[in-house]
Structure 1
Amino acid sequence: MNDEIRLATPDDVPRVREVTDAAYRPYIERIGVVPVPMEADHAANVAAGRVFVTGHPVVGVLVLVPEPDHLFLDSICVHPDVRGTGAGRALLHFVDAHARALGLPEVRLYTNAMMWENQKIYPRYGYELVERRAEGVYDRLHYRKVLAPESGSGAVRG
Structure 2
Amino acid sequence: MSTLIRPARAGDVPAVTALVAAAYGIYIPRIGRPPLPMQDDYAELVGRGLVHVLDQDGDVLGLVVLVREPDCLLLDNIAVAPSAQKQGHGRRLLTFVEETARAAGFETIRLFTNVAMVENIALYGRCGYEETHRVAEPDLHLVHMAKRL
Q: Which category describes the TM-score, using the shorter chain as reference length? A: over 0.9
Taking structure 1 as the reference length, the TM-score comes to 0.90
Measured after TM superposition, the shift of residue 136 of structure 1 is 4.5
Give the corresponding residue for 1:141.
Answer: 143
Give the corresponding residue for 1:63.
Answer: 65
CA distance in 1, matches of 2:2, 2:88: 11
- Please list every run of 5 or more consecutive structure 1 residues that lacks an aligned counterpart in the other structure: 148-158
Give the corresponding residue for 1:5.
Answer: 5
Taking structure 2 as the reference length, the TM-score comes to 0.95
Measured after TM superposition, the shift of residue 138 of structure 1 is 1.1
**Identity, % of aligned pairs?**
46
Q: Return structure 1 stretches of 4+ with deviation > 2 angstroms.
A: none
Equivalent residues in 2 for 1:121-136, closer than 5 Å: 121-136=123-138
Give the corresponding residue for 1:107.
Answer: 109
Equivalent residues in 2 for 1:29-68, closer than 5 Å: 29-55=29-55, 56-68=58-70
Which structure: larger Rg? 1
Measured after TM superposition, the shift of residue 135 of structure 1 is 3.7
Equivalenced residue count is: 147
Aligned AA (2:143): L
CA distance in 2, matches of 1:53, 1:36: 19
CA distance in 2, matches of 1:87, 1:114: 22
- DSSP 3-state at the match of 2:37: helix
Contact 1:8–1:53 (Cα < 8 Å) also in 2: yes
Q: 1:99 to 1:135 in 2, by over 3 A?
A: farther
Aligned AA (2:133): E
Q: What do the CA deviations read for 1:44-103 (whole angstroms, capped 9, x no partner)?
A: 000000000012310101000001110001100000001111110100000000001111
Measured after TM superposition, the shift of residue 2 of structure 1 is 3.5
- Please list every run of 5 or more consecutive structure 2 residues that lacks an aligned counterpart in the other structure: none
